Amino acid sequence: MNNEDKKTILIVDDEQSIIDILAYNLKKEGYNTIEANDGVQAVDMALEYKPNLILLDIMLPKMDGLTVCKKIKNSLNIPILILSAKDEELDKIVGLELGADDYITKPFSVRELMARIKANLRKIDVTESVADTKEEKKQHQISVGELTLDLDKFEVKVSGERVDLTIREFEVLKYLAMQPGQIVSRELLLEKVWGYEYFRRH
């Protein structure tokens, strides 16, 4: 594989030893890596290099990881996997609601992390190219009142005016639009859009 064809992953952590371990394993799997040691540097590097995926610690100097996640997601649609020793359910929910695509608690196995990275990269590739379910292929457009979602173009219009959304926001809106008139809980959204079944069990 040419260097240009490799996916680039931004590793953000204030502990260099963790960065070194992650970089070593990612390079073994064929990824390019870039590094940031604080929140401000993470945002700057994400906007400059536009990596394919970001591994983001929460406890960072200068700017915490949740703020970093929100700032990056406001500008770029890049999968963000939060890596944190904080294992409270509230932390997971806040991280996901701020736009994170996955949440992995430390300590984690390298094999699990690599599987999650591959899954999130596949998900973004599929979402950017074609609809990835039979249901979406059959139904290319959803209309609810003045709202129209084009599932092929990932385009949203309200009263004919286009609204720019991230892929994650589009997925949330699509799920809600497919349940017109129904009350959908936050936990159900987390399960259906992010695939977090344990939010319903706790």
Q: What is the DSSP letter of 197?
A: T
What is the pLDDT, as a whole number, of residue 108?
82
Measured CA to CA, the distance from residue 200 to residue 202 in angstroms comes to: 6
Claim to verify: residue 115 and residue 149 sit in the same structural domain: no
Residue 157, domain CATH = 1.10.10.10
- Shared domain for 70 and 168, answered yes or no, is no
Two tokens at 73? 């997601």
Cβ(12)–Cβ(54) below 8 Å: yes
The percent of the chain in helix, strand and coil, each rounded to the nearest 5, is 50, 20, 35
Report which of 58, 57, 111, 102 is spatially closest to residue 80, judged by C-alpha positions. Answer: 102
Tell me which amino acid residue 27 is.
Answer: K
The answer on 7 and 52 residing in a single domain is yes
CB 84 within 8 A of CB 103: yes
Range of 197's domain? 134-201
- 13 plus 108 within the same structural domain: yes
Residues 102 and 124 in one domain: yes
Helix (H) or strand (E) holding 187: helix 186-194
Give the Å distances, CA to CA, from 164 to 77, 149, 161. 11, 12, 10
* Tens-place pLDDT, residues 136-174: 444 577 888 888 888 777 788 888 888 887 777 787 888
The confidence band for 202, taking pLDDT boundaries of 50, 70 and 90, is: very low
Given a cut of 70, whether residue 63 has pLDDT beyond it is yes
Task: Give residue 201's pLDDT band: very low, low, confident or very high (50, 70, 90).
Answer: very low
Q: What mean pLDDT is reported for the chain?
A: 80
Q: Is the pTM of this model over 0.75?
A: no
Please give the radius of gyration of the chain, using alpha carbons only, rounded to the nearest integer. 18
Place of tokens 């390079």: 27
Q: Is the dihedral of CA 172, 82, 38, 48 positive or negative?
A: negative
Whether residue 31 is found in the same domain as residue 122: yes
CATH number of the domain residue 20 falls in: 3.40.50.2300
Helix (H, G, I), strand (E, B) or coil at 155: strand
| Domain match, 93 and 156 both | no
Residue 29 CA to its chain's centroid (Å): 20
Using 50, 70 and 90 to split pLDDT, how confident is the model at 127? low
DSSP of 12-44: E-S-HHHHHHHHHHHHHTT-EEEEESSHHHHHH
Specify the pairing of strand 80-84 against strand 53-57: parallel
Pair (120, 141) in one structural domain: no
Q: 37-49 pLDDT, tens per residue?
A: 999 999 999 999 9
Domain match, 153 and 123 both = no
Segment 93-114, tens digit of pLDDT = 776 777 788 888 888 888 888 9
